[in-house]
Structure 1
Amino acid sequence: MQQCPRRTILGGIGATMAATLTGSTVAAPDGDRPKASTTTESSFDDVLAYLPASVAEDSMGVAVTNYERMREADQPYGPSPPINTAEMDASNVSKSAFVTSYTDEYSQPLTVLSGDIELPESTDSSETDAGVEYEYYEPESDGVVGSDGDVVVGSTDRETVEAAFDANAGEADRLLEAESAIESGLSTFPESDARSVQISDEQPTLGGFEDVDIEYSVTAQTVIDADTMEMSVGIELADESDATDELIETLESQFAYAATTGEPSVEVDGSFVSTTVTRDLAAERAVREHESPGYLQVERDFDIEDDDLLEIEIGRGDPTPIEDLTLEIDDEPYDREIWADGHGKLEEGDTIVVDMDDVEPNLSVSLTHEHELGSSSSRTTILSHFRFESSYDIDSGELTLEYADDFSLDGEEVFLAVYDERPIYRLDEDGSEPRVSTQPWDGETMSEGDTATVEDVEVGDTVIVGWKGTDYDDSIWQHQADPPGRARFEYEYDSETLEATLDFAPISPDSESEPTDDVERSASEYELQIDGEPADTQWTDEFETVSTGATLEIDDVAVGSDVEAVWAETDTPIGRTQTQPSIDLAYDGGTVEHVGGDALPAADLEAEIWAENGSYTLALGDEIDGDFEDGDSFTVDAESVTDRSGDDVDEIGAVNHVLVRYDGQYQVGYAFPER
């Protein structure tokens, strides 16, 4: 291949990188990169001609795809045209061009499709201001879809659709004429079968290079044969001195999750930098068809003091060479000579081991399979939860813990922390700091029955027992300091009446908590809220003190109201509900019967049927006149239901369950066949 006089090949990027010229970036005879063409050079002229200048944005992208060519490659995931409507068959699309806007928020204002595409029969006829005739319809997915007989154009509005037809007819400015960067980017790899170009202040191609001024970035794919594709990434720099080795390495990293037949080739042509690899589709298919070892299952009964090894079973996976696997303990590689336990390959049912001397609470274990598409990992945590009993005195702010496990712990490694709220764990930022932190068992060996007390605990606080720290991921036990009592609700649909009742009884009838029949609290400590605002009637209006059974009755509470009972001082919820009607349903041999609950207008009800062959709907207004009430029934079969697209159904198969929905949003009743 003849080298372009202006092009230089960068060396020194890495010892294993071969810097060569590739066929997808062949120079033009005059030594310049290929220039844009509106006639023969690009195979996408027929769809690009429809892109009007009116869709131009400061931050935008244009992508074109030749699906006939891309389908020749046996990819793990085939190309899918950008069709958001069920009225068109994606398999009939031969080419596409679509525009993406990033200026204010992500949107796709225009899509152009060519191929043997038929619009629905029910279309309207219209004509642009320039006299171009076209057919159009408005799909259920919103927007407008139109056709001039050659291509199909989709947009969010008719104005853009008409601008596209006028641009093709030469009656309106075209995008490629108005945006030279888009034009140059799309012509950079003229023989590619799919390409995209983006102009933006922040190019996703170069994360970490915010100070580099980029005119445009471009990606391209070219089908070589069923098992091979060529992939390229390129950028046009405002300043060619920014074409550093570090920047080129960043470009090469774009291929980290593709199986390739060699090292990336790099080309620098003045201010344009590109890198290209050959993608091995057969290798990618093999990786995706291979199930990596994972689903780590730690043996349930082990003795950390008497056992020498901890066994971990592989719950799934195809035979995989041990040398392709890495076991990490607390994010540090573990000795393969130990954990592999003599295995040459690892698969479902095999057992790996960890030396018991290395086992401790909250131990993170991960098994990673390195392959040509990157890696696959499976994780588990050993001894991540221990039993503690707690009692909270809301008046003194003291919370007492009693260790209730038979596993001895080194008290020097155990922390007790109090947070104002449940700490949120995020990988990309530091967590909140605890308000209280202590080591009450420091210098001791903890055993069952040991206790500790922490002070200054407020309602709603989260208390954590942590191993070697106080962060969320250090936790081996968590508890929220809840206020006393719970709230139960009953709602009468016909009268729109709500009852809210306080309950101080133990949550479980088997609870060992002290009896609470004599619990009394000040009524001022509790508040009832409806849709975020205090209800007109409060417990203080009816009681000075409250105990189990203290009930409020509120009138004129509309369906769909969000109701909460809270501890007034901190707004900590003790119970919540959303008011809605309810129906008791029974299922018997394909018949669903109303056997109790509210009578509701059948016209406002829809049944969702989840069955062996799919999910279906049935409008009860088509089956029942007036109200659906006690004793009424409807039949679930292929003749009465429709699928999610509204089409008739041949066979639904065995029914799993039936859900009845009121007013399009409230789930008011369920029916289940007997098993």
Structure 2
Amino acid sequence: MPQCPRRTLLGSIGTTMTIALAGSTVGATQTDDQSDGSSESPALDTLLEYLPASIASDSLAVTTIDFEERRVANEPYEPRPNTGGFGIDRESVSKQALVYSTGDDYSRPITVLAGDFDLESEGETRETDGGVEYERHENDREQIAAVTDDIVVLAEDDETITDAFAASAGDSERLLEAKPVIDEGFSVFDDADAGYSVHIGDDFHLPSTNEEVAVEYAVRAMSVLGPDTMEMKLAISFEDESVVTDELVESLTGELSYMATDDPTVEVDGELVTVVTERDLAAERAVREHESPGSLRVERDVDLDDDVLEIEVGRGDPTPIEDLTLKVDDEEYDREIWTNGHGTLEEGDTIVIDMDDVEPNLSITLEHDHELGSSSSGTHVLSHFKFEFDYDVDAGTLAVEYADDFPLDGDEVSIAVYGEQPPYRHDEEGPEPRTTVQPWTGETMSTGDEATVDDVEPGDIVLVCWDGTSHEDSIGYFRARPPGNVRFDYEFESKTLSATLKFEDDAERPADEYELLIDEEPADTQWADESDTVSSGSTIEIDDVQVGTDVTVVWGDDDIQMGWTSPRPQIELEFAEDGTAIEHVGGDSLPASELTLHVRAKDDFGEIDVGEKIDGEFEEGDTISVDMDDIRYATLQYGDTRSIGYVHSRD
């Protein structure tokens, strides 16, 4: 069940805040003379020195984590370092500095790890201009790792690696020097030893108005006080002091409301607002370990003569009724009715609503209010009805027949025709329907009622809706498609692709209505080259089609897509009986040197160069040994083409 944080702690859990209009910043950086030894560890400072000015942008985040310190705390979810898919043992990572670029092109330009590393693969030995020797590794994601005795630098290119070592040696400008505002953010709290993050370039949404205001930087920091307690700190420096109102200050506590916290202390110093609180990890674990009631189930055949509609709770631990709320069409429902006499609710219990309140496409949501916010689980009642559709592509008409036995009020039923994907919800932006009709106005619909919709074009989406015209309102769906469909077959060894048209009847169509495109260009061979008409089974073959080519079949003057494929070899894989190897049990034979096996285990991930295990071809009967425990699944990659074979554990 999804966790939904509450936006304020004040209204939801009765928290009181101490708001001090202070003349000094909480945890402001101490001078060297004032230092009491509680500043960040030298190791984390050292990692920050590797961040070069060349990765600077106007919108980014710099994050440091001390995993050794975090592991002292018994958090509900263990923090994991970014190891970049290089097979680095996560437990060997002690500290991390990571930069996110949060502008239009989201990326992670650099990660610096500290620890005791042992990469399985052999790297290429290189040396920086400053005389630092490192091993260079590259993975299939075009990421680069530079490994020294106790530092790993992960980057997107060699230039960033070079800049990182130069910055560390003091031979080039560092990120915190190029962006003093980040350095200022790191100075707000001087005793956060478990993690620290500074964001720049993001705006803040004012409460109630949702207006954006400019922010210089935002800080999140944490310290471990014990196995069950962490201190959490939040700071935002606004560009304009006048936007710092009581309402804004109160809303900032909502940024910590996904945690179980004590009363936060808030201080305001001009444009800087800081929030400090303690996090109760034991309470969080209790919430995480408790499964909220949910997975609501309603019988498909609803008997309108019943007094109530029964709704079964499909999962959940015993939960006090007073912590639960049932909403019907987003309105809180009468507790005396829906609780059905229960004092607690758990898997297998039944709740009810009055049958007089039941209507098509009725939304039902069960909410659980707890210390981390709220959880919710929902369903829709009578959300799909049977309609028969008969589309005449040449006439552009769609015959719609109601084929269900539930009486529908025709005044509430609309048929909406969209030329492109409609919005799912009422509040989402999207196209308006090109055509909307209400053919059953003034009627109570019953089985066999018919209507005809004109001007329906191939590619259109037709929704039969209840009380609206969005996808969320739909109780019936039809996609107008070109006549026929296409099946592709690919012979890897000869690089030959065949495309076969299939029709439901013996009808013939003009051959020039159909066109096959190779990488968006017409192929040299077309159905119209073979005959004036096509029928079911009409096939064309294209030679020299390489793996990964974009192949599409389109129909008509508007090039409506009928089918698409990207040719690739196929290999069938199975686990060996003892689970320590993966076997080729059918399909193509491929050069082992061009294959990579990606293996996901319960607590690990690894990549295996098949060429290091097998000489020559990887063919039926060959096995790849895997030195990992509790393997969940594996995928086989051929060159840049992923997933030409897949196998998963049945456990």
Q: CA deviation at 1:503?
A: 2.8
Q: 1:222 and 1:355, CA in 2 relative to 1: closer, same or farther beyond 3 A? A: same
Question: Which whole-Å CA distance do the structure 2 matches of 1:621 and 1:593 have between them?
Answer: 16
Find the counterpart in structure 1 of residue 135 from structure 2.
Answer: 137
Deviation at 1:332, TM superposition (A): 1.3
- Write the distance in 1 (CA, Å) between the matches of 2:237 and 2:646: 60
Distance 1:363-1:77 versus aligned 2 partners, 3 A rule: same
CA distance in 2, matches of 1:63, 1:412: 57
Cα offset for 1:557? 3.7
**Separation (CA, whole Å) in 1 of partners of 2:235 and 2:616:** 66
The one-letter amino acid of 1:143's match is I
Query: Which residue among 169, 173, 184 is the counterpart of 1:166?
Result: 169
Q: Which residue of 1 aligns with 2:3?
A: none
Structure 1 residue runs without a partner (length 5+) = 1-10, 506-515
Question: Which whole-Å CA distance do the structure 2 matches of 1:193 and 1:52 have between them?
Answer: 19
The 3-state SS of whatever aligns with 2:132 is strand
Contact 2:387/2:402 (<8 A) preserved: yes
Equivalent residue, structure 1, for 2:511: 523
Contact (CA 8 Å) 2:203, 2:212: kept in 1 or not? no
How far off is 1:270 after superposition? 3.1
Structure 1 pair 411–232 and aligned structure 2 pair: CA distance change class (3 A): same
Q: Which moved more, 1:658-667 or 1:608-617?
A: 608-617
Would you say the 8 A contact 1:222–1:229 is kept in 2?
yes
User: Percent identity among equivalent residues?
Assistant: 47
1:409 aligns with 2:392: no
Cα shift readout 1:254-296 (whole Å, capped 9, x = no counterpart)? 112111223x222122332212222211111110010000111
Residue 43 of structure 1: aligned partner: 40
Task: Pick closer, same or farther for the CA change 1:396–1:190 going to 2, 3 Å.
Answer: same
Are the counterparts in 2 of residues 259 and 284 from structure 1 also a CA contact under 8 Å? yes
How far off its partner does 1:111 sit?
4.5
**Whole-angstrom distance in 1 between the partners of 2:521 and 2:199:** 48
Match of 1:350 in 2: 349
Letter in 2 for 1:529: L
1:220-299 to 2 correspondences below 5 Å = 220-262=221-263, 264-299=264-299
Q: 1:228 to 1:454 in 2, by over 3 A?
A: same
**Structure 1 residues 543 and 346, CA gap change in structure 2 (3 angstroms):** same
Instruction: Report 1:565-604 matches (<5 A).
Output: 565-580=553-568
User: What secondary structure does 1:215 align onto?
Assistant: strand
Q: Distance in 2 between matches of 1:341 and 1:572?
A: 53
Q: Which of residues 638, 642, 647 is equivalent to 2:625?
A: 642
Other-structure match for 1:546: 534
Query: Which of 203-212 and 456-465 deviates more?
Result: 203-212
1:534 counterpart letter in structure 2: P
Superposed, 1:176-575 pairs within 5 Å as: 179-198=179-198, 200-203=200-203, 212-262=213-263, 264-304=264-304, 306-425=305-424, 429-505=428-504, 516-517=505-506, 519-575=507-563
Whichever residue aligns with residue 75 of structure 1, its letter is E
TM-score, normalization: structure 2?
0.82
Partner SS state of residue 416, structure 1 = strand
Q: Note closer, same or farther for the CA distance 1:36–1:400 as it changes in structure 2 (3 Å cut).
A: farther
Q: 1:396 to 1:79 in 2, by over 3 A?
A: closer
Secondary structure at the counterpart of residue 17 of structure 1: coil
Is contact 1:70-1:193 (8 Å) kept? no
One-letter amino acid of the counterpart of residue 453, structure 1:
T
Output the CA distance in 1 between the equivalents of 2:167 and 2:366: 53
TM-score normalised according to structure 1 size: 0.79
Aligned residue identity for 2:286: A
User: Is residue 607–residue 620 contact of structure 1 (8 Å, CA) maintained in 2?
Assistant: no
CA contact (8 A) 2:484 2:503 kept: yes
Cα distance in 2 between the residues matched to 1:244 and 1:160: 43
User: Does the residue aligned with 1:634 lie in a helix, a strand or coil?
Assistant: coil
Distance 1:625 1:570 in 2: 47
Shift of 1:446: 0.8
Q: How many residues align?
A: 624
1:665 maps to 641
| Greater Cα offset, 413-422 or 196-205 | 196-205
- The DSSP-based 3-state class of the residue aligned with 2:250 is helix
For residue 139 of structure 1, give the secondary structure of its aligned residue in structure 2.
strand
User: Are the equivalent residues in 1 in contact too, given 2:593–2:609 (CA < 8 A)?
Assistant: no
Cα distance, 1:504 vs structure 2: 2.2
Offset, 1:324: 0.8
Partner of 1:73: 73
The one-letter code matched in structure 1 to 2:414 is F
The CA deviation string for residues 384-405 of structure 1, in whole angstroms up to 9 with x for no partner, is 1111112122222121111111
CA RMSD of aligned residues (A): 4.3
Task: Report which of the two structures shows the higher radius of gyration computed on alpha carbons.
Answer: 1
Amino acid of the structure 2 residue aligned with 1:266: V
Residue of structure 2 in register with 1:62 after alignment: 62
Kept after mapping to 2: 8 A contact 1:47/1:113: no
How much has 1:191 moved relative to structure 2? 2.0
Q: Relative to structure 1, is the Cα distance of residues 347 and 182 closer, same or farther in structure 2, using a 3 angstrom cutoff? A: same
Residues 536-576 of structure 1: per-residue CA shift (max 9 Å, x gap): 23333332333334333444444444333332223223344
| Gap change, CA 1:219 and 1:387, over 3 Å in 2 | same
Question: Could you tell me how far apart the structure 2 residues matched to 1:196 and 1:605 are?
Answer: 40
Paired residue type of 1:338? I
Residue 218 of structure 1 aligns to which amino acid in structure 2?
A: V
Conserved? CA contact 2:418–2:462, under 8 Å:
yes
Q: Partner amino acid for 2:641?
A: Q
Closer/same/farther in 2, CA of residues 608 and 281 from structure 1, 3 Å limit = closer
CA distance in 1 between partners of 2:151 and 2:612 (Å): 42
Q: 1:369 to 1:269 in 2, by over 3 A?
A: same
Shift of 1:252: 1.7
CA distance, structure 2, for counterparts of residue 660 and residue 454 of structure 1: 48
The letter of the residue matching 1:233 is L
Q: Which residue number in structure 1 is paired with residue 6 of structure 2? A: none
Question: Which consecutive unaligned segments of at least 5 residues does structure 2 have?
Answer: 1-9
CA distance in 1 between counterparts of 2:217 and 2:648 reads 58
1:53 and 1:600, CA in 2 relative to 1: closer, same or farther beyond 3 A?
A: closer
The one of the two structures with greater contact order (alpha-carbon pairs below 8 A, sep at least 6) is: 2
Q: 1:96 to 1:619 in 2, by over 3 A?
A: closer
User: Which has the larger displacement, 441-450 or 94-103?
Assistant: 94-103
Aligned mates of 2:603, 2:147 — CA distance in 1: 35
Structure 2 residue identity aligned to 1:162 = F
Identify the range of structure 1 (238-247 vs 347-356) with the bigger mean alpha-carbon deviation: 238-247
